[in-house]
Structure 1
C-alpha cells in the first residue's frame, strides 16, 4: 500500500477520535479551504485506510474467546476465554472509539465532498463517496458483531449525544452503506488512484470486497434474528447472503477470484506480500514503506514461532488430531510438530500458516537486539474458501439436506484430500455441523471461530466455546443471549461524553451482582 498520508488530519481531525463516540464529534476544525482538489480527497481516503489498517480490529476479545488454545502465557487471556465478567469489563478490547474514528472520517469525506465537484470529475467523486460508504459499512458491521446495540451517528458535525440503536438497525445501517458502495465501486483490477495507477492493495473498497461484506452482513443478520428471536425474515437474509456469495464464486461482475487448490501453496502466498493471492477478497495490507513496520491485524500472531521468536499461545497436538483427518493436506501445511529446547516433541502443534517475519536490529553490534516487528503478510480477512463455506452454511440452514451446501462443502474438502460428506468425522451430526467443523479446519486460527459459533446458535455457544480445564465456562441461557451476553460491554470512558448511553443489560446485571 502506498505510504499512508495523514497531512493535517493526523494532528487535527484524528486527535479527537478518543472522544468521538463517547459521543461528541470535532466541530472546531474548518474545512473551508480543504476538500477542493482530488489530492485532498485522496489524502483523506488514505487516512481512513490507515485507521482501518491499524484500528478496525485492533482489539480481539471475542476472537481470543473463540479460538483453539491449549496453552497461554497470560492468565488474563484465560479469564477472557472463560468470558469472566471482571476480565471482559476491564479489557481495553471493549473500547470502540477507534472504530467510530473511521465512521467519523468517512462522514467528513461525505459531508464535504461537494466542495471538490468544481475541480474533480463526477466519476472520481462517486469513487471517493463509495470508498467512504464501504468504510462506514465495514465499521458498523464490526460494531454490530462486537457490541450489538450501538449509536448510529448522523454526520460529522452534529454535536448532540446519541443513544444506542437496536442491533438490527445497526446491521441495516451497515447494509445500506455497503450496498451504496457495491453499486458504484469498480472491480479490484480497476481500483485506481488520482493519477490513474491501479491500487493493488485489497484493503481498499472494491466491488468484490463490498460483495463479501454484504454476504457476511446478511448471514450475521439472519443468524441474530434466529438466535435472539427478533422480528425479521431470517430466511430472506440467508438467501441474500447466498446470492452475494454466488456472485463472488461465479465471478461474473464482481471481480476474478479463484481457489488456491493446494494448502501448501496457500501458505506460501500468505507469507509473501509480493505475490497476489487469487483467493483473497479483502485484506489488511502490510505497509513496508512505513518507517516503523508493524503487523496489520493478524489474530494468529500470538501463535507464531517464526525463527525461534517464541509464542504466547499453543494448540495441543491432540486437538489437531481430533480436528483433522490424518490424510488432510492442511495438517502438514498449517502446522508443524512442536519441539522443546532439546529438540524433543513437546506435545504442541506450531502454527505454520504464516512463515516470514519482518525483523529490526536496534544495535548492529548486538545480535540479541534483533526483534521481529511484523509478520510479513497481507492478511486475507475474507477469502474465497470461506465464502464457499458461508454459502454452504446458509444453504444448510434453509435445507438440512441441501445438495448445494454439500457441493460447496465437498469442494473445499476435495482440495484438502479429506473424506467427502457424508462420511467424514462428525458428519453424523448433520450437514450444518459438518460445515461448521469444516470452517474450523479451513480457517484455522484466522479469528473467525467465535462468530461462527454465534451464527450457528445456542447449542454451539454452550458446547463449542472454551470450557477450561475445570469446565467452568459460564453456560449461557437464551435469556442471557437476548440481554447481550454474546456482545462486549460498553467501555467506561464512553459514558463520560455521552449521557444517553446505557450499558448492555447482561453486563449491567453482571457488574451489579
Structure 2
C-alpha cells in the first residue's frame, strides 16, 4: 500500500515531473563538481610561482595531494535513484528509457572522474547498503563497469536534436545527456582503458587494448560521421579558432558536445572558484581579472602563478596559425623585445576573456565569474582522439586526415612525413597528434591524461622532472593519482585502504 502521509522513494516517483526533478538533482551535483585535481600536474607552464603547484608537479610527498570523493559518490547515488525508479513512472517506454539513459550517463561520468583522480576506487552498485563494507576495486575493473554504463547510455539516449522535456520543450544548452555526449564519454573511457594498460598491475593486464582503441574510434565516428573531414550532421566545427571563445564556450554551439550551464547559474553555485570553467580560466587568465576589475597594469602578468613563454607559443603556432591571436592577447606586439620590462617575456592567455562583475551595493565592480559554460567535450577533441585511435590501429591515412581537419580550421601547416623528424619518439605521427591536442586544447585540462594515455615514454619526457627517474613501480602503486582523503578512512567502511604510494607518506 502506498502511504498517504509520508513520502518514500517508491511513491515519490510516479510522473515524468518527478523523474525530471531526480535528473535535475544529478545535473546540479555535477555542476558543483570541478573535474580532477590531477589536471594541475600536467598543465603546461614554463614558470610556476606556487610552491604547492610545483610540489604537486614534482611529486613532493610533503605536499599532500588528497581530495574527498564523497561528492562523486553522491552523484552516483542520485543517478542510482533515476535508474531504479524510471520504470515505475506513468510514461511511455521511450520516455522511461530516456530517463534511465540519463541515469547511466551520470553514473558513468562520475566513475570516469573517480578513476582519473584516485585510480582504484569503490564500486557501490545499484543500491547502497551502509551496513556492508566496500573494498576498492582495481581501476581496470572500475573502468569495465564505467564503460558498460556508457554503453547503456548510448543505447538508451536519443540524439540531441530529438531531446524534449515532458512539456515538449527542447533544451537551451547542450547540458542534457544525449547519444552524442554518451559516445564522447564512451570514447574517452575506452581510450583510457587502452592507453593506461602499461601501468596496470600485472594481474590486471590480461586484456587486448586494440579492442578498446577500436571501440573508442567507433564512438568518435558516431559523433563525427563516417566521411573523413566532413562532419555535416548534428555536430560541426565552428569556422575559426576565435569562435571557440566567442561561441563554443558561451554555450549551445554546434562544436559543443556536452556542457554544464554555469553562465546563468553562478548564484546557485555560490563560490565562483568552485565552477569547472572558472578554476581553469583562473589558472591562466587571472591577469584578465586584475586588469578589468582593479585596473592593474599589463605588467601584472609577471605576478601570475602559471606562465608560458613567448618563445614557446611562437614555436607552437607559427605565423598564419589563427590560434596565435585567438588564444593569446596581442601575441606579436606584446612579445616584442621592447616590452620585456612589461611582459617579462610571458604571453597573455586570452581564450577566457569575458568577466562578469558584481552590481550589488558595496560590491560594485568586483570579480564574480568568467562568463562561460563548462564545456566537457567539443568536436575538435573528438577529431583528435579519433586520430590517436587510428594511429594505434595502424590507420595512418585516416589519422592524418583527422589531424588535418583541425589544422585546416586553424590555417596551420598540414601534416607531412618529415614533421618532427628530429624527435626520437618512435611514432612521429602519434607525437604530432599529441602535440596538436596539447596546442588545440592548451586551456582545457586534458594534457595530463593525454600524457598518461600515450605511454611511459611520454610520462618520462612530457611531465615534470620528477617523472623522469621515478621507478615504474611507483607509478603502478599510484603516484600518478590523488590520495584518498583521510576523513574517508577509519570509518564505517572498514575495508577501505589508502592508495599504496601515498600510504608511505601519510
TM bucket (normalised to shorter chain) is: 0.7 to 0.9
State the 1:245 CA deviation.
Answer: 1.0
Matched, 1:212 2:205: no
Q: 2:146 corresponds to which residue? A: 174
Q: 1:377 corresponds to which residue? A: 372
Check conservation: 1:302, 1:312, Cα contact below 8 A.
Answer: yes
Supply the distance in 2 between the matched residues of 1:510 and 1:424 (Cα, whole angstroms): 46
The secondary structure found in structure 1 opposite 2:357 is: strand
The secondary structure found in structure 1 opposite 2:469 is: coil
2:472 alignment partner, one of 478, 492, 497: 478
Check conservation: 1:225, 1:233, Cα contact below 8 A.
Answer: no
Q: 1:333 corresponds to which residue? A: 326
Check conservation: 1:242, 1:394, Cα contact below 8 A.
Answer: yes
Matched, 1:36 2:14: yes
2:58 alignment partner, one of 82, 94, 110: 82
State the 1:486 CA deviation.
Answer: 1.8
State the 1:202 CA deviation.
Answer: 1.5
Matched, 1:414 2:386: no
Matched, 1:283 2:235: no
Matched, 1:296 2:296: no
Supply the distance in 2 between the matched residues of 1:215 and 1:254 (Cα, whole angstroms): 20
- Which 4+ residue blocks in structure 1 deviate beyond 6 angstroms? 251-255, 339-343
Check conservation: 2:34, 2:275, Cα contact below 8 A.
Answer: no
Supply the distance in 2 between the matched residues of 1:292 and 1:224 (Cα, whole angstroms): 37
Supply the distance in 2 between the matched residues of 1:242 and 1:350 (Cα, whole angstroms): 35
Supply the distance in 2 between the matched residues of 1:43 and 1:290 (Cα, whole angstroms): 20
Matched, 1:432 2:411: no
Supply the distance in 2 between the matched residues of 1:104 and 1:150 (Cα, whole angstroms): 15
Q: 1:12 corresponds to which residue? A: none
1:200 alignment partner, one of 172, 193, 197: 172
Between 317-326 and 385-394, report the one with greater CA deviation. 317-326
The secondary structure found in structure 2 opposite 1:347 is: coil
Supply the distance in 2 between the matched residues of 1:502 and 1:130 (Cα, whole angstroms): 32
**Structure 2 spans left out of the alignment, 5+ residues:** 1-5, 294-299
Task: Using structure 1 for the length normalisation, give the TM-score.
Answer: 0.84
* Cα distance change of structure 1 residues 136 and 272 upon mapping to structure 2, 3 Å threshold: closer
* Cα distance change of structure 1 residues 143 and 427 upon mapping to structure 2, 3 Å threshold: farther
Deviations 1:73-118 (A, max 9, x none): 53212211222223234x4xx22111111101111222333442xx
Q: 1:121 corresponds to which residue? A: 92
* Cα distance change of structure 1 residues 454 and 278 upon mapping to structure 2, 3 Å threshold: same
Q: 2:217 corresponds to which residue? A: 242
Deviations 1:456-498 (A, max 9, x none): 011111110133xxxx557333222222222222111111231
Supply the distance in 1 between the matched residues of 2:487 and 2:233 (Cα, whole angstroms): 42
State the 1:194 CA deviation.
Answer: 1.5
The secondary structure found in structure 1 opposite 2:344 is: strand
Deviations 1:283-305 (A, max 9, x none): 12225155456473122332113
Q: 1:306 corresponds to which residue? A: 288
List aligned pairs for 1:103-122, cutoff 5 A: 103-116=76-89, 119-122=90-93
* Cα distance change of structure 1 residues 88 and 478 upon mapping to structure 2, 3 Å threshold: same
Matched, 1:492 2:464: no
Deviations 1:187-207 (A, max 9, x none): 112222121101232222100
* Cα distance change of structure 1 residues 301 and 345 upon mapping to structure 2, 3 Å threshold: closer
Check conservation: 1:270, 1:379, Cα contact below 8 A.
Answer: no
Q: 1:134 corresponds to which residue? A: 105
1:45 alignment partner, one of 1, 11, 23: 23
Task: Using structure 2 for the length normalisation, give the TM-score.
Answer: 0.85
The secondary structure found in structure 1 opposite 2:113 is: helix
Between 424-433 and 189-198, report the one with greater CA deviation. 424-433
Q: 2:308 corresponds to which residue? A: 315
Supply the distance in 2 between the matched residues of 1:29 and 1:84 (Cα, whole angstroms): 50
Supply the distance in 2 between the matched residues of 1:300 and 1:397 (Cα, whole angstroms): 32
Q: 2:242 corresponds to which residue? A: 264
State the 1:510 CA deviation.
Answer: 4.4
2:207 alignment partner, one of 232, 253, 266: 232
1:97 alignment partner, one of 70, 91, 95: 70
Deviations 1:23-46 (A, max 9, x none): xxxxx9942441122221111111
* Cα distance change of structure 1 residues 383 and 428 upon mapping to structure 2, 3 Å threshold: farther
**Structure 1 spans left out of the alignment, 5+ residues:** 1-27
